[in-house]
């Protein structure tokens, strides 16, 4: 496999845009050809053609199909993917591999020649028929957790019909189960302060609940002929490439009950040399997941719903052609066009969905970002800054407050009022995000702590490691954030804005350019030069035990801080909240880490070891057992009993 050609990503559930096929039809004869082949298969099986619905001037919406015609929705998703693939291949864009997500594995195998378009439609028909008897079996919920924590929640609910169904991204996992089990998930999630979002999935996919449907599906497609693979197809369900020796009909039926590990799949392909990914279906959901799984990789989307579909695909083809077969990794910006509020709102929903790793369906116009969706003011500020960059808004209106723009509808109104008919421009390489407002979730700093460059650099390494989900070891002082680590300038700008907030820098120096501050060493120099020896105002919380042995990853602490149990407990709550990505409110003194919060003993041991390092505990007391220290209150008691109070160390 080479990196000169892109990996084609074929989406599954939800990948439908009503106007995509009708718009493409005007300039791409492939639409009528593909939909005609699908209709031939459907009518031969006794069904009604889909062309009259999907190619009409007013095709049905996603919500309408979910509510009234789930079968046609599956054909619409299938048709969109096959059409885009045929257009790309017909214009010379060849994949290095093809990856289907869930249902997307059917069009992926069609794209690779294993099935004809007509036989692929027959498989979709059989799948629809097999699933109808399971129409009330349950559903699916997305959780902003990694797979390990999602599994801990599943274990906490302890319902045999609840499973981790899809591992999408580092912090997006989907569970499926019966409605009773999912109601328990909602309750547990609410207790932990975790958002559980119901997905528009008509069935509890990738769950043993569908075992009977899978059996019927296998029987109905057993005789569908297959051909040899003409392109490599990687299965996130199997965790490997398909081969010509595989019984595809049997494997496709098992998909209904086996989990999808999409995050692991794209990382495996990236490790083999693939650094270019092209989403070949409607919307841009998979592109967002790839960005989350592979920081620094920017996938391309063919049909994002933002502009003319034909021009969008032509732009993709032209980009690959200009690179002489080497894929362009930056998604083309929408061409200059007069703004409309509907267009802006649609683009905002897609942008926020990708940035937050949320299903686009939950980002309704009037949904409160903080109250309904749990997006804090700091994150909102970062995203609004990026919206401003994208729409060429040179500055926010006087008196602008993020709290007045807490829904996508209000943000769309802001764009329309400030832009006053301006044209959309490509998001600049260098962002100009204003510094985020102070947020209650930022840990308070000790008053009177004097800055040193070594301390600032150590804190920056920890902060950037957490923000980027990188190992702290790779964040060396002179590592180029973009060139070595793949952090683009927009993300760098956001992080420097947050650094400014943490260190109380009211403004950046005149002539400041992000391109001049592309390493942590230069950012540390910036902090020192601007603060001019000022005291930290929003630095990470510090501990007050004897300083641990020097470690490159641990920032030295201000000397002379005296420990108290209340202080240690407060610091532990902040530290565990950050390490576990839990709201600090759920980390109560007597909450059982494993029993109440789902933190297994291995993770607890790791965190206690880090606590020991940061409070200068040279060794744990004789007879120490992690099971005896299962709450933050007991860990605070351990620190107080064993630490001397001569100096401090950061949490």
Would you place residue 548 in the very low, low, confident or very high pLDDT band (cuts 50, 70, 90)?
A: very low
- Assess if residue 426 is contained within a domain: no
**29 and 124 belong to one structural domain:** yes
At 431, list the tokens.
């962002």
Residue 4 confidence (pLDDT): 62
Q: What is the CA radius of gyration of the chain?
A: 26
**Model confidence at 643: pLDDT above 80:** no
User: What confidence category does residue 373 fall into, taking pLDDT thresholds of 50, 70 and 90?
Assistant: confident
Beta bridge pairs of residue 649:
556
Domain boundary among 265, 294, 322: 322
Q: Determine, yes or no, domain membership for 540.
A: no
The verdict on 240 and 96 lying in the same domain is yes
Of 419, 436, 465, the last residue of a domain is 419
Q: What is the pLDDT of residues 270-283, one digit of tens each?
A: 988 898 999 998 88
Residues 6 or more apart from 43 whose CB is under 8 A from it? 49
Mean pLDDT lowest among 96-105, 216-225, 511-520: 511-520
Q: For residue 462, what is the domain's CATH number?
A: 1.10.1200.10
Given a cut of 90, whether residue 588 has pLDDT beyond it is no
Domain-located, residue 334? no
Instruction: Give the structural domain span for 512.
Output: 453-531
Do 395 and 313 have their domain in common? no
pLDDT in tens, 46-66: 999 999 999 998 899 988 998
Q: Which DSSP string corresponds to 280-321?
A: EEESSHHHHHHHHHSTT---EEEE-SSS-HHHHHHHHHHHHH
Indicate whether 329 belongs to any domain.
no
Which of residues 590 and 324 earns the better pLDDT score?
Answer: 590
Asked whether residue 547 is domain-assigned, the answer is no
Query: Are 54 and 129 found together in one domain?
Result: yes
Could you give the C-alpha distances from 336 to 264, 275, 427, in angstroms and in order?
A: 37, 29, 12
Note whether 202 and 130 are within 8 A (CB).
Answer: no
Helices (H), 357-488: 377-390, 408-419, 453-468
Instruction: Give the percent of the chain with pLDDT over 90.
Output: 37
Based on the domain organization, do 172 and 308 belong to the same domain? no
Q: What DSSP letter does each residue of 186-253 carry, written as one string?
A: HHHHHHHT---EE---SS--SSGGGHHHHHHHHHHHTT------SS-EEETTTTEE--TTS-HHHHHH
Rounded to an integer, the average pLDDT of 504-530 is 81
A 10 A CB-CB count for 287 gives 24
Flag the least confident range among 61-70, 204-213, 412-421, 530-539.
Answer: 530-539
Whether residues 91 and 104 fall in one domain:
yes
pLDDT in tens, 335-359: 334 568 888 888 888 788 877 777 7
Do residues 290 and 189 share a domain? no
Alpha-carbon distances of 195 from 141, 200, 229, 311, 600, rounded to whole Å: 10, 16, 41, 38, 21
379 & 395 share domain:
yes
- Rounded to an integer, what distance in angstroms lies between the CA atom of residue 177 and that of residue 188? 15
Instruction: Give the mean pLDDT of 74-103.
Output: 94
Structure tokens of 497?
């804005």
At which of 531, 547, 580 does a domain end? 531
- Give per-residue pLDDT as tens, 468-494: 767 677 788 988 887 777 776 667 777
The answer to whether residue 266 is domain-embedded is yes
Residues 313 and 392 in one domain: no
| 192 and 218 together in one domain | no
Q: What angle do CA 247, 11, 301 make, to 5 degrees?
A: 135
Q: What is the pLDDT of residue 507?
A: 66
Say whether pLDDT at 327 is over 70: no
Q: What are phi and psi of 433, to 5 degrees?
A: -60, 135
Considering the domain architecture, whether residues 90 and 153 belong to the same structural domain is answered as no
Mean pLDDT in the chain?
Answer: 80
In a domain, 336, yes or no: no
State yes or no: pLDDT of 450 exceeds 70: no
In a domain, 328, yes or no: no
**pLDDT of residue 439 exceeding 80:** no
DSSP sequence for 530-595: HHTTPBPSSPPPB--SPPPSP-TTSPEEEETPPP-HHHHHHHHHHHHHHHHT--GGG--TT--TTT
Q: Specify which residues 198 forms β-bridges with.
A: 141
Claim to verify: residue 92 and residue 16 sit in the same structural domain: yes
The CATH number of whichever domain residue 241 belongs to comes to 3.40.366.10
**8 A C-beta contact, residue 651 and residue 575:** yes
Domain total of the chain: 5
pTM of the model: 0.55
């Amino acid at each position: 496999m080479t990196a000169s050609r892109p990996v084609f990503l074929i989406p599954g559930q939800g990948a439908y845009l009503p106007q995509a096929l009708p718009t493409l039809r005007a300039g791409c004869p492939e639409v009528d050809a593909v939909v005609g082949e699908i209709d031939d298969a459907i009518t031969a099986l006794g069904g009604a053609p889909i062309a009259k619905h999907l190619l009409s001037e007013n095709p049905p919406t996603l919500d309408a199909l979910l509510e009234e015609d789930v079968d046609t929705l599956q054909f619409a998703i299938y048709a969109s993917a096959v059409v885009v693939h045929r257009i790309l291949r017909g214009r010379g864009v060849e994949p290095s591999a093809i990856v289907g997500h869930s249902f997307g594995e059917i069009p992926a195998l069609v794209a690779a020649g294993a099935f004809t378009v007509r036989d692929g439609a027959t498989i979709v028909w059989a799948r629809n028929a097999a699933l109808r008897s399971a129409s009330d079996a349950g559903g699916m919920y997305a959780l902003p957790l990694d797979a390990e924590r999602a599994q801990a929640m599943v274990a906490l609910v302890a319902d045999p019909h609840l499973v981790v169904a899809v591992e999408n991204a580092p912090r997006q996992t989907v569970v499926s189960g019966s409605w009773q089990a999912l109601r328990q998930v909602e309750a547990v999630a609410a207790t932990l302060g975790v958002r559980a979002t119901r997905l528009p999935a008509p069935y509890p996919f990738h769950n043993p609940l569908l075992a009977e449907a899978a059996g019927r599906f296998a029987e109905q497609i057993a005789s569908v002929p297959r051909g040899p693979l003409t392109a490599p197809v990687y299965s996130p369900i199997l965790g490997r490439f398909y081969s010509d020796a595989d019984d595809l009909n049997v494997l496709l039926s098992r998909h209904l009950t086996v989990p999808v590990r999409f995050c692991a799949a794209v990382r495996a392909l990236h490790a083999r040399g693939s650094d270019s990914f092209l989403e070949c279906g409607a919307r841009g959901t998979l592109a967002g997941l790839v960005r989350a799984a592979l920081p620094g990789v920017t996938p391309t989307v063919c049909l994002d719903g933002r502009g003319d579909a034909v021009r969008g695909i032509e732009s993709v083809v032209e980009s690959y052609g200009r690179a002489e077969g080497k894929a362009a990794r930056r998604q083309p910006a929408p061409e200059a066009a007069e703004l409309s509020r509907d267009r802006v709102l649609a683009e905002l929903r897609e942008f926020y969905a990708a940035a937050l790793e949320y299903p686009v369906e939950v980002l309704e116009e009037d949904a409160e970002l903080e109250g309904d969706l749990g997006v804090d003011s700091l994150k909102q500020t970062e995203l609004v800054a990026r919206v401003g960059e994208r729409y060429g808004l040179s500055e926010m209106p006087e008196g602008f407050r993020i709290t007045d723009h807490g829904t996508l509808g209000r943000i769309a109104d802001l764009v329309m009022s400030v832009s006053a008919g301006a044209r959309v421009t490509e998001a600049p390489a260098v962002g100009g995000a204003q510094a985020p407002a102070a947020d209650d979730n930022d840990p308070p700093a000790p008053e009177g702590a004097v800055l040193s460059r070594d301390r600032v650099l150590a804190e920056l390494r920890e902060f950037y490691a957490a923000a980027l989900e990188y190992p702290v070891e790779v964040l060396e002082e002179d590592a180029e954030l973009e060139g070595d680590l793949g952090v683009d300038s927009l993300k760098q700008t956001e992080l420097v804005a947050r650094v400014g907030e943490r260190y109380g820098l009211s403004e950046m120096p005149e002539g400041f350019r992000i391109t001049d501050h592309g390493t942590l060493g230069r950012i540390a120099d910036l902090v020192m030069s601007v603060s001019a020896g000022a005291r930290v105002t929003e630095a990470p919380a510090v501990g007050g035990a004897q300083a641990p042995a020097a470690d490159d990853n641990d920032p030295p602490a201000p000397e002379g801080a005296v420990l108290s149990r209340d202080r240690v407990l407060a610091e532990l709550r902040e530290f565990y909240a950050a390490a576990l990505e839990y709201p600090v409110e759920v980390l109560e003194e007597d909450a059982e880490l494993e029993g109440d919060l789902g933190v297994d003993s291995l993770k607890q041991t790791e965190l206690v070891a880090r606590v020991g390092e940061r409070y200068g505990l040279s060794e744990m007391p004789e007879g120490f057992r992690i099971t005896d220290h299962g709450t933050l209150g007991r860990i605070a008691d351990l620190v107080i009993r064993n630490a001397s109070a001569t100096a401090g160390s950061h949490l």
